[in-house]
Structure 1
Amino acid sequence: MTSNKAAWIKGPGSLVEVETVEKWVPGGGELLVQVEAVNFNPIDAKLQRSNIFQPQFPIIVGFTFAGTVTSTGPDVISVKPGDRVVVARWGQTGSDNKFGALQKYALALEENTLKLEPEISFEDASGVIANLATVVSALNIYMGLSLPPITGKALPNGKRVLVYGGSSAVGGLAVKYASDAGYEVVTTSSTANKKLVEERNAAHIIDHCQPKEDLLRELRGHGPYEGIFEAIGSQTTTQLVVELLRETGGQFFSTSPSPGDGQIPNNVQKKWAGYSETLASQEANRELRAWYLERYLPEALKNRSVWPNPALWLKGGLNSTQEALDLLYDGKVSGKKIFLNPQD
């Protein structure tokens, strides 16, 4: 029997260790997947290097992956061995290492799994499923914006939204999603990534590399905004959006807490949540989850009406995990998504 290997983080700040682990046996409602594409997100690096989320070590990180089903447990009906699938690690699986993406064979819950058609790539599917769920949750549940149609675009509704960080993995998806829903989207990008953002149909792209006062003046000039989504989640971007709202007051939604949040003035509110988890796991959002996973996402992947940032594949399989986490934590990846194949 082929053995399993996993990339472990055994303590706060500890370097990744690749070790042989058990090849898991799926239980009721579970399946075992040969992992062939792991999509890295900033939270993976923060779990290793920051205490913001207070994980229980040792951990196997990685929250989205794609691959081939090798076996299924009792009561699994939507997929069978040999099927190509994409998986999001939601709900109870988030703290269970058997479901961590960074291993050769990972467990998945059937309810968090989407069967893929042959024409859909592993990197497109794993690069979208959780990041787009974040966007759906942030924009529709928390910000109260309208849904886009399953296919095509809604008519313009005359409302503007600001997505700060239009070339980021989540920000780019938010730009396209909000634009398809009929909103006029104002976003930011470097000149190097401007073309990437233009493809997402942003109405206005502001150069975030210009002097801060010029940047703020331009952001204010395109307002007022129906909602503000800060898609980077860093201390620097938080401070910038706080400065944008300092005089008028208001709220914005961010993808992550950051150092210094306690010093935000009283008239400005930064709101953050585990957006993807809210959509996937809260009973109140069951209908929206079904719309997303059963209708919108399959059609969006099939028609490529949404897509991830270009892939940066690292060679070396699981042995490249630490390199990936370092690149993310040090902010050395711009306009790309990091992937590796644990089977390499």
Structure 2
Amino acid sequence: MFQIEYPAILGYTFGGTVVSVGPNVDSVKVGDRVAVACWGRAAVDKRFGAYQKYPLALEENLVKLDSQTSLEEGSGVMANLATVVAALSICMKLDYPPIDDRAPSNGKRILIYGGSSSVGGLAVQYATDAGYDVVTTSSPANWDLVQRRGPSSTIDHTLPREQLLESIKASGPYDGIFDAIGSAEVTELMGELLAEDGGLFWSTSPTPADSRLPKNVKKEWGGYSDILVSRDENKDAKVWYLQEYLPKGLSGGRIFSNPSYIFPGGLESVQDALDAFMAGKISGKKVFVNPQDQ
């Protein structure tokens, strides 16, 4: 386990243009555009944190972008999609999707709660492309965004709780459930959904509500990106993701981020951007700051 050192420079994913390379780096050159995730030891080393003008990047943690892919698009999906690959295909054992097409329907139905979130939207498209019938949730404000991902059904999560629960039940049964929100409220809702017959659902994080789940309902969660990129048993999946699925999907336009919102003010605005996001003032968008802005 890597321990963070203080003072720390945070920021987990970024995109940029290479200005210098180390002596043993041969996959990129000066002038190349890349998307980077701070996985492994880079996650706790301040030299690699995104919230600075010139962060370092480990060669194994980057993807080279073609001229058609924006920095926002590449960096906006890199870590979130790694989470999806690990959660759905490694942990939940769902099929991997084709790289440049959609698989035929396999007749299985998956619930992905939170289809307008960054992870949720990518999960909806990933599972749909793998041949699953996907039911998801969204507010009406983000309906069009979610529909671009190809779900078979989208449920309004702003409905009164009992009506929401009944709508989710009526769209089942489900061969797998993934909660892309990870809140206590959704944990409780999934507990109610599964309480009658029992079952398992996967989520993005623990919550205080976990201990209150019915005894016949099990919740699993994990550090999904780390599961994909840091475990030897998943090295083939990592290679497939970083060298095939992600770069080709971005280049061909099949993989895309939620719309980007660049928060003005450069590095001085990082805290304001985080505060706005945590306060729920920004929905259905990926928030960026440009460290080169003054």
TM tier relative to shorter chain: over 0.9
**Counterpart amino acid of 2:54?**
Y
Q: Which residue of 2 aligns with 1:185?
A: 134
Q: Which residue of 1 aligns with 2:18?
A: 69
Matching residue within 167, 171, 174 for 1:218: 167
1:150 equivalent to 2:103? Answer: no
Larger proportion of strand: 1
Taking the aligned partners of 1:243 and 1:57, their CA distance within structure 2 comes to 42
Q: Which residue of 1 aligns with 2:212?
A: 263
Instruction: Between 131-140 and 68-77, report the one with greater CA deviation.
Output: 68-77
Taking the aligned partners of 1:143 and 1:281, their CA distance within structure 2 comes to 18
Matching residue within 272, 288, 294 for 1:323: 272
Taking the aligned partners of 2:238 and 2:117, their CA distance within structure 1 comes to 23
Q: Which residue of 2 aligns with 1:209?
A: 158
Q: Which residue of 2 aligns with 1:237?
A: 186
Deviations along 1:300-320, one digit per CA (max 9) or x if unpaired, are 101110211111111100011
**Counterpart amino acid of 2:102?**
K
1:89 equivalent to 2:38? Answer: yes
Taking the aligned partners of 2:174 and 2:6, their CA distance within structure 1 comes to 41
SS at match of 1:251: strand
Question: Contact 2:4–2:45 at 8 Å: present in 1 too?
Answer: no
**Counterpart amino acid of 2:129?**
D
Matching residue within 225, 234, 237 for 1:288: 237
Question: Contact 2:97–2:127 at 8 Å: present in 1 too?
Answer: yes
SS at match of 1:119: coil
SS at match of 1:145: coil
Report the TM-score, using the length of structure 1 for normalisation.
0.83
Q: Which residue of 2 aligns with 1:118?
A: 67
Taking the aligned partners of 2:191 and 2:201, their CA distance within structure 1 comes to 9
* CA-CA distance at 1:331 after TM superposition: 2.5
Deviations along 1:167-220, one digit per CA (max 9) or x if unpaired, are 001000000110000000000011111111111101000011111111111111
**Counterpart amino acid of 1:268?**
V
Taking the aligned partners of 1:78 and 1:217, their CA distance within structure 2 comes to 51
Taking the aligned partners of 1:94 and 1:196, their CA distance within structure 2 comes to 31
SS at match of 1:260: helix
1:340 equivalent to 2:284? Answer: no
Taking the aligned partners of 1:306 and 1:175, their CA distance within structure 2 comes to 12
**Counterpart amino acid of 2:237?**
L
Q: Which residue of 2 aligns with 1:252?
A: 201
**Counterpart amino acid of 1:247?**
E
Report the TM-score, using the length of structure 2 for normalisation.
0.96
After superposition, residues 11-26 of structure 1 pair within 5 angstroms as none
Tell me: higher relative CO, structure 1 or 2? Use CA pairs within 8 A at least 6 residues apart.
1
Question: Which runs of 5 or more residues in structure 2 are unaligned?
Answer: none
* CA-CA distance at 1:328 after TM superposition: 2.3
SS at match of 1:185: strand
SS at match of 2:8: coil
* CA-CA distance at 1:57 after TM superposition: 4.1
Taking the aligned partners of 1:197 and 1:167, their CA distance within structure 2 comes to 6
**Counterpart amino acid of 2:8?**
I
After superposition, residues 23-102 of structure 1 pair within 5 angstroms as 57-102=6-51
Taking the aligned partners of 2:212 and 2:280, their CA distance within structure 1 comes to 24
**Counterpart amino acid of 1:180?**
D
SS at match of 1:72: coil
**Counterpart amino acid of 1:253?**
W
Taking the aligned partners of 1:284 and 1:211, their CA distance within structure 2 comes to 44
Q: Which residue of 1 aligns with 2:124?
A: 175
Taking the aligned partners of 1:114 and 1:309, their CA distance within structure 2 comes to 19
Taking the aligned partners of 2:28 and 2:61, their CA distance within structure 1 comes to 12
Q: Which residue of 2 aligns with 1:313?
A: 262
Taking the aligned partners of 1:55 and 1:218, their CA distance within structure 2 comes to 43
Taking the aligned partners of 2:91 and 2:166, their CA distance within structure 1 comes to 27
Taking the aligned partners of 1:263 and 1:60, their CA distance within structure 2 comes to 36
